[in-house]
Structure 1
Amino acid sequence: MAVPLNIAFFASSLVSAYWNGAATYYRGMVRALSRLGHRITFYEPDAYDRQAHRDIEDPDWARVVVYPATENGVFRSLEAARGADLIIKASGVGVFDELLEREVLHLKRVGTQVIFWDVDAPATLERIGSDTADPLRALIPRYDLVLTYGGGAPIVAAYRRFGARGCIPIYNALDPDTHYPVPPEARFKADLSFLGNRLPDREHRVDTFFLSVARNLPDRSFLLAGSGWDDKERSGNVRYLGHVGTGDHNAFNCSSRAVLNVSRDGMARNGFSPATRVFEAAGAGACIITDQWDGIEEFFEPEWEICVAGSGEQVAEILERLTPSVAAAMGTRALARVRAHHTYAHRARQFQEIFATGSVDHGYIGGAP
């Protein structure tokens, strides 16, 4: 049994998924680490109206500290975290990221390690690669380790080029206590559903793999969910729901013939970056259609556990031949795969192995777990 760690985690939000796609990743990892005996304090800013759109109350498996989105709030939280065994700065906190990335490093002591956990590594690497003055470039070698939630060997190699002491992907996964099959609900019924916030590096791919398919299949029904799509032009067979809270995700995933995954641009280019929602949909036993990216076969068997489309035309072809029985069988196989190999319990054990000796192993743990 590894020695339990006192972990201070600075990230966007644990209690709200509002404009916060990493929420369920954080929840899955933190809860699984807590079950292994580790103690986590999660520091999140009161920003972007997230506290007004909470999905969960403060959990009993982590201490949540909501600090004012001010410099003073940041420094008070940093001081409170002093003395933790492990201090984590996640990417994309949303406010004072540069300040946090610099100041957490001042908390390094004998017995205290500081790591950077990148939940959007392709975007981070593209940003610092195009801007030699980006402050993060000089800080990367000072972190004890970089963790990512995807990206595989290309991301690891890129972080190494920027001087990272080590880089290890800990992939998205399933929390089977949160995402599981439920009865379908009429309000979420459709032939194809997509859930995702409107982001600049995703919108064009949603046009290609979802909205254009709806225009070309007027007799089929489509369901769009996520924040920011209010004024997006769409055909009459596309219903728009807006933000769907995590408490409704199981019903959303279980009520359509198929659920679509659309990667963000950078994650599609790098590959080996399955979105959290892929595992959540599989955990609900949904039939998944995903856009094509390198490494899919490391997580699911294409055409047996997941459908893969390289274009909007291929999405339409899959949808036209996907009978209810075929879709149900594929969803059942995907569910078995994620429960056997891709839960947050698996990821937490990987995390624990990395830090079990009390000093980071800077080797690369490659491929899918």
Structure 2
Amino acid sequence: MKIAFYGSSLLSSYWNGAATYYRGLLKALSQLGYEITFYEPDVYDRRNNRDIEAPDWCAVVVYDATQHALMQVAACAAEADIVVKASGVGFEDEALLRAVLDHARPDALVVFWDVDAPATLGQLRDEPDHPLHAALRQIDLVLTYGGGDPVVWAYRAMGAKECVPIYNALDPETHYPVASQARFACDLAFLGNRLPDREARVEAFFLDPASRLQEQRFLLGGSGWGDKPLPANVGWLGHVGTRDHNAFNVTPKAVLNISRDSMAANGFSPATRVFEAAGAGACLITDAWLGVELFLKPGEEILVARDGGDVAEIMRTLTPNRAKAIGASALRRVRGEHTYAMRAAVTDTVLRQHFERGTVEAA
């Protein structure tokens, strides 16, 4: 079956946290026989900050950020059996959604794939006239980056016919243990772009513990932090490309995951970073969120912090040997239970059920 997928970017992770999610999941779907074309706009200087070239498992069409180019690529939806519009594409999202819905064939499966469902649902609650309200009546299926039952129930209440979470996971061919690199040597590292709905949590869970632990070294990776006042023991690396993520994860004694506000409040929303760090064998500390134990076991495969004070206490007592043991346990767990091949199998089942249901109804 042919999939037309309209998303932010497959080729660049620059200001694009969904990149490795798209890559891992779509590669695994291609291995199940899906023929995929990914359409991404040329925005945010991503063309000059590519992490990968177009892969052999997916065709990629990069289009200009103009209305004319948007309409041209939207017309390609007519060629697909499955049409996917992702959230957060980054250029005229509402117009793209409308155009894709208009061009999809009547017999095609139309999917809205939400990579930030808690935030999207919050916006829908605040904006009763948002175009997605009406679009949900035409959309056959909502898939989400995560969110568990709270997101499923909320989307159904908004009028979605069906909502299924497809969680982040590990691509073991991309994220795996490597040799450490001196430039990433530190006690605790955090990788994340500066975003309005996460900055206060970065201050609380990362910068505050750094201020308390002046004898330890902290590293901050990600875009947008250049003018942020940092404690003297915090180094800033700027954008860290995906080719360096394994070394970034495996070199520090521990790495930190900090959820965005809406995902932390909703729960059941493990970031890509959780599985990528675990896949490299890193000792991961995460801010506390509901459902973490469904993915990694607290205290044995991941360390959980309720606030910056917890992070500081963990770092005061964490020994290199314990950090290595936690990282090794996490690596075993994600390789055994949380790979994109497994997520793709779930996705494949959901998609095929829709086509089989349509065939029965047509008969």
**Normalising by the residue count of structure 2, what TM-score does the alignment of the two structures yield?**
0.97
Q: How do residues 181-200 of structure 1 correspond to structure 2 at under 5 angstroms?
A: 181-200=177-196
> Is 1:35 aligned to 2:31, yes or no?
yes
CA contact under 8 A between 1:144 and 1:360: conserved in structure 2? no
Structure 2 residue matching 1:198: 3-state secondary structure: coil
1:107, distance to aligned residue in structure 2 (A): 2.8
Q: 1:116, 1:128 → 2: CA distance?
A: 14
Paired with 2:176 and 2:308, the residues of 1 have a C-alpha distance of 28
Identify the residue that residue 105 of structure 2 maps to in structure 1.
109
The answer to which of 184-193 and 100-109 deviates more is 100-109
Alignment RMSD, CA only?
1.1
**Residue of 242, 249, 255 corresponding to 1:246:** 242
- Deviation at 1:222? 0.1
- In the TM superposition, 1:286-325 aligns within 5 A as 286-325=282-321
Residue 17 of structure 1 is matched in structure 2 by 13
Structure 1 residues 215, 31: CA separation in 2 closer, same or farther (over 3 Å shift)?
same
In 1, the alpha carbon distance for the partners of 2:174 and 2:56 equals 15
Q: Which amino acid aligns with 1:334?
A: A
Distance in 2 of aligned mates of 1:275 and 1:360: 32
SS at match of 1:174: coil
- The residue that corresponds to 1:168 in the other structure is 164
The answer on whether the counterparts of 2:4 and 2:76 sit within 8 Å (CA) in structure 1 is no
Q: How far off is 1:30 after superposition?
A: 0.9
Correspondences of 1:347-358 after superposition (within 5 Å)? 347-358=343-354
1:60 corresponding residue in structure 2? 56
* Counterpart residue number, 2:361: none
User: Counterparts in 2 of 1:153-164, with a 5 A limit?
Assistant: 153-164=149-160
Secondary structure of the 1:168 match is strand
Equivalent position amino acid for 1:38 in 2: Y
- Relative to structure 1, the CA distance from residue 192 to residue 360 in structure 2 (aligned partners, 3 Å threshold; closer, same or farther) is farther
Equivalent pair of 2:111/2:142 in contact (CA under 8 Å): yes
Alpha-carbon distance, 1:36 to partner: 1.0
Query: Paired residue for 1:336?
Result: 332
Note if 1:223 corresponds to 2:182: no
Q: 8 Å contact 2:75–2:100 — kept in the other structure?
A: no
Gaps of 5+ in 1: 363-369
Residue of structure 1 equivalent to 2:70: 74
1:116 is paired with a residue whose SS is strand
1:180 pairs with one of 176, 181, 195: 176
Letter of the 1:56 partner, please give it: I
Which residue of structure 1 lines up, in the alignment, with residue 271 of structure 2?
Answer: 275
Structure 1 residue 353: deviation in Å?
Answer: 0.5
Question: What percent of counterpart residues are identical?
Answer: 59
Structure 2: segments with no counterpart, 5+ residues: 359-363
Q: Tell me, yes or no, if the aligned pair for 1:145 and 1:360 is still in contact at 8 Å.
A: no
Using the alignment, how far apart are the partners of 2:147 and 2:127 within structure 1? 21
- Tell me what 1:151 maps to: 147
Secondary structure, aligned partner of 2:255: strand
Deviation readout 1:56-105 (Å, 9 max, x if unpaired):
01110100000111111111101123120000000000101001111211
Is this contact kept in 2: 1:174–1:344, CA < 8 A? yes
Aligned-partner residue type, residue 321 of structure 1:
T
**Residues 279-301 of structure 1, C-alpha deviations (whole Å, 9 max, x = no match):** 00000000000000000000010
* Cα separation, 2, equivalents of 1:97 and 1:161: 23
Q: In the alignment, does 2:123 pair up with 1:127?
A: yes
1:24 Cα offset (Å): 0.3
Matched to 1:41, the amino acid is T
Letter of the structure 1 residue corresponding to residue 165 of structure 2:
P
* Most deviating of 310-319 and 350-359: 350-359
1:94 and 2:90 equivalent? Answer: yes
Whole-Å Cα distance in 2 between the matches of residues 169 and 313 of structure 1?
32
2:80 aligned residue: 84
Q: 1:285 aligns with which of 281, 285, 296?
A: 281
Which residue does the alignment assign to 2:44? Answer: 48
Letter in 1 for 2:309: E
CA distance in 2, matches of 1:80, 1:106: 11
Q: Distance in 2 between matches of 1:150 and 1:360?
A: 25
Aligned length: 358
Q: Tell me the alpha carbon deviations over residues 33-60 of structure 1, each in whole angstroms, 9 at most, x when there is no partner.
A: 1111111000001111100100001110
Matched-pair contact (CA < 8 Å) for 1:151–1:273: yes
Gap change, CA 1:361 and 1:334, over 3 Å in 2: farther
1:266 to 262, 274, 278: 262
Structure 1 segments, 4+ long, off by >6 Å, are: none
Distance 1:361 1:249, change over 3 A: farther
1:86–1:112: 8 Å Cα contact kept in structure 2?
yes
